[in-house]
Structure 1
Amino acid sequence: MQKRRLGQGGPMVGAVALGTMNFVGTYGETTPDDALRCMEACLEMGVDHLDTSNVYGMGRAEELLSRFLKIRRDRVVLASKCGITRNPEHPFDNSPDHMRQALEGSLRRLGVEHIDLYYLHRHEPGRPIEEVMQTLLRFRDEGKIGAIGLSEIAPGTLERALSAGPVAAVQSEYSLWTRQPELGILQGCARAGAALVAFSPVGRGVFGDTPPDPNAFGDRDLRQGMPRFAPENWPRNLARLTKFADYARDHGHSPAALAIAWVLSRGDHVIALPGSRSIAHMRQNADGAAISLTHAQLAEIETILPVGWAHGARYGEAMSRGPQTYC
């Protein structure tokens, strides 16, 4: 596994990380033992950066991860997040008291005294990011967190945050399926020496060996409310995805590996963050870190999946409330 730096002066980590949201039923049921086996296999592949949040399964993902950290803490770069409340009337809270409570809860559930990278999961509208950075800097000075990360923010927010202190990583959805970070966050991170941690680099599973069937989504499947999977959009999207999958296999790669390789080709500061509970799927994801794409191949991929090709918005109305828009 190739290594990439997690922010200026940060640790070197695998170019492919592992997100744990899938371990708590976001895309279907799984078992704790399956999740633990997946994490162990990932570590052997060189996937040593594990990402979670206090709201994944309302803390259950962190509790599950604690079982793995008991025996593997020294080999893992650990990231978690705060700032989402799951309260429909007040979904985001970046107040010092709430963030303190969230951090202490995460430390307790994870069974650790220190989180290597701690993200603001969503920025609360109306609260200055400089104020939020001061809270995070206090946590860092206390030794409870290492580096500071921000998630789903606009380039202007990153610029203001950097005026208050260092930002090691920005987490944004980024893939051949969703390319908004190219409108400023990708470049802003490069200028700041921050890592762009690209979540959903295989597009909510659309770059898997078998594209998902929206008719088979369970009630708890996060994709239920995503317009790109709606009947009026999915057939058009599937036609393009099929062409990409054929192209990947013609070149000896799985669609997932090629999709990961494309994400990593966008800059040396980009880290791919797929979430999977399947060892087989994570092997394909990790394979993407070994693929070097030529200029000709990148141009061919662009012809198959040109920027803006996907039909439908990435999020429905409810999920669109948190990510900052900037275009």
Structure 2
Amino acid sequence: MQQRALGRTGRSVSVVGLGTWQLGADWGAVSEEEAERVLAASVDRGVTLFDTADVYGDGRSESLIGRFLAQRPGHGITVATKMGRRLAQEPENYTPENFRAWTDRSRANLGVDTLDLVQLHCPPTAVIEDDAVYDALDRLVADGAIAAYGVSVETCAQALAAIARPNVTNVQIIFNPFRLKPLDEVLPAAEAAGVAIFARVPLASGLLSGRYTAETTFAADDHRTYNRHGESFDRGETFSGVDFETGVAAAAELAGALPDGVSLPAATLAWIAAQPGVTSVIPGARNVGQAESNAAAGDLLDGASEGGGFDLDAFDRVVRDVYDRDLRASIHPLW
């Protein structure tokens, strides 16, 4: 598994990480035993980045990761967590006191004195543009509560504002074949500034698994049921904001362009990771099979760079054609 520099921290993280929203909540139930197997399978395949948040299962995801890593001294895993959604996402709630309380809670959940990386969890634009916010984060670094900080964002404009801050380590943004706008300015700006990019929602909430049909349904407690139109949080978090039936058809077209033996999820993750400026792509997994499949995309990326059977350039042309024809008009202006 390739390892890439995590901004200016001196750390390196795997080009394919593991997103752990699924291990907390909002994707249906995942048992503690299965969650541990997902974490172990990822590590065994070379994953060195876990991405979590204090609200995933109200701390369940962080606690599961903390217990897992406690059993593996010298594990070499970087844990990136997030904060800012334990209260209403209003600028007045992003205070030094709340930052301290939230990070103290995450430290307890993860069983560490210093958090590797804390990201503001898709805060309002006013927060991203507020000097006082970064002063408070710098104090947490100086106090040893956190080692580094970044920002998870919804829009490209927010990403560019965060990248301009001198001590921001990373920006986490939705980027996949159904969300190409970050290619325009965000990835080049991040690369120039030495800011890491984590590509989140890389499989568009499973649409880019290629397994869904227009008739596929999801559990009532799955955000793919209750947030399709942004009822609970930003609509772009679910299926990358793409209309479900449109996305199913687009995914089928992408899958049809692949050679035998190359799956759509692996091709998608490898394509994302191959884009200049991307540090790590962070797909989630609900079971060991998904975790192993995600990690195997790193092998596909290596094979493509060595002139193997997967033609990244050919897939890139299809991705851009499908996006321009079927998705750009409805997606590009919004995020």
TM bucket normalised to smaller = 0.7 to 0.9
Aligned structure 1 segments of 4 or more residues deviating by more than 6 angstroms: 311-314
Please name the residue that 2:30 is paired with: 30
Q: 1 CA distance for matches of 2:165 and 2:17? A: 28
Q: CA RMSD in A?
A: 2.7
Q: 1 CA distance for matches of 2:130 and 2:97? A: 16
Please name the residue that 2:319 is paired with: 301
Superposed counterparts of 1:15-26, under 5 Å:
15-26=15-26
Deviation at 1:284, TM superposition (A): 1.7
Q: 2 CA distance for matches of 1:137 and 1:214? A: 49
Please name the residue that 1:65 is paired with: 65
Deviation at 1:156, TM superposition (A): 5.5
Question: Does structure 2 retain, via aligned residues, the 8 Å contact 1:207–1:255?
Answer: yes
Matching of residue 253 in structure 1 with residue 262 in structure 2: yes
Q: 1 CA distance for matches of 2:158 and 2:248? A: 35
Of residues 252, 275, 284 in structure 1, which corresponds to 2:284?
A: 275
Please name the residue that 1:200 is paired with: 201
Deviation at 1:257, TM superposition (A): 0.2
The alpha-carbon distance between structure 1 residues 214 and 121, as it changes in their structure 2 partners (threshold 3 A), is: farther
Please name the residue that 1:317 is paired with: none
Question: Does structure 1 retain, via aligned residues, the 8 Å contact 2:163–2:195?
Answer: no
Please name the residue that 1:48 is paired with: 48
Q: 1 CA distance for matches of 2:325 and 2:150? A: 27
The alpha-carbon distance between structure 1 residues 104 and 226, as it changes in their structure 2 partners (threshold 3 A), is: same
Please name the residue that 1:322 is paired with: none
Question: Does structure 1 retain, via aligned residues, the 8 Å contact 2:83–2:103?
Answer: yes
Q: 2 CA distance for matches of 1:214 and 1:78? A: 37
Look up the SS of the partner of 2:66 in the other structure: helix
The alpha-carbon distance between structure 1 residues 307 and 68, as it changes in their structure 2 partners (threshold 3 A), is: farther
| TM-score (norm: length of structure 2) | 0.84
Which blocks of at least 5 consecutive residues in structure 2 are unaligned? 230-237, 305-310
Question: Does structure 2 retain, via aligned residues, the 8 Å contact 1:3–1:12?
Answer: yes
Please name the residue that 1:219 is paired with: 220
Deviation at 1:153, TM superposition (A): 5.7
The residue type equivalent to 2:204 in the other structure is: G
Q: Work out the number of aligned pairs and report it.
A: 312
The residue type equivalent to 1:235 in the other structure is: E
Please name the residue that 2:251 is paired with: 241
The residue type equivalent to 2:31 in the other structure is: T
Deviation at 1:11, TM superposition (A): 1.2
Please name the residue that 2:234 is paired with: none
Q: 1 CA distance for matches of 2:69 and 2:244? A: 39
Superposed counterparts of 1:109-188, under 5 Å:
109-127=109-127, 128-152=129-153, 157=158, 161=162, 165-188=166-189
Q: 1 CA distance for matches of 2:91 and 2:206? A: 27
Deviation at 1:251, TM superposition (A): 4.3
Please name the residue that 1:13 is paired with: 13
Deviation at 1:179, TM superposition (A): 2.2
The alpha-carbon distance between structure 1 residues 98 and 51, as it changes in their structure 2 partners (threshold 3 A), is: same
Question: Does structure 2 retain, via aligned residues, the 8 Å contact 1:49–1:78?
Answer: yes
